[in-house]
Amino acid sequence: MASRGGPMVVGTDGNDYEFRQRVAAPHYISMLNKSRLRYCIFFHTLLAFCMMAKLTSDVLDRLDIFVLEIEELEVPKPLWWEYIWLSSLLASFIGLSAARGNKVREMQKYMIAIVVLGILPLLYCMVYYFSDVWDYIKLENKADIDETDIMMWQGFPYGLLWYAFCLVGFQVHGFTLIFSNKCLQAWRARTAARKYQ
């Protein structure tokens, strides 16, 4: 080894650093995808805050609390899928715990929870509002929206707003599943390498 400004070790010119202390590929892949998974969970949390804001009106009604500013917004009543999707945020704690401890079973549970509580409710939403969105797309320029059955909220087609939410949700959940799967593959490769040794 060479010290800074000092003599060089005999038999080397100092270019053999490439062979020293490399991070094994499964460790690097795991570390990279854990970081990406945390970003996905962060964006999932942001979407959940949007959903909580939408559900605030219904929750306050159920608690018999009257807030004039919220009532004036005339937020439509929520459907059951909105509460189910919101519960998918709780699965994030399982995912974070699995990523912290490289727990294969926990990560598999997290992936199943994301599919069941996250993706399936969004699919239901897209099917439920499809007719409204399709009618809005087919609407002619000079047609009056008030004469149609298209549900509007604050001047925007309600179904189209949900479609925008669903598209972002599908991206977040899709990337979450991809990065979770890559973590699983890296952990399994590391476990297989240990067994082989």
Q: How many helices (H) and strands (E) does the chain have?
A: 7, 2
pLDDT at residue 143 in the model: 66
Lookup: tokens for 119 = 């993706």
CB 97 within 8 A of CB 37: no
Of 21, 22, 35, 24, give the one whose Cα is nearest residue 183.
Answer: 35
pLDDT at residue 158 in the model: 85
- In the chain (197 residues long), the average pLDDT of successive 10-residue segments reads 59 60 68 93 96 89 81 84 95 93 93 96 95 84 67 80 95 96 86 58
- pTM for this predicted structure: 0.78
CB 170 within 8 A of CB 17: no
pLDDT at residue 165 in the model: 95
pLDDT at residue 125 in the model: 95
pLDDT at residue 81 in the model: 93
pLDDT at residue 26 in the model: 67
pLDDT at residue 127 in the model: 95
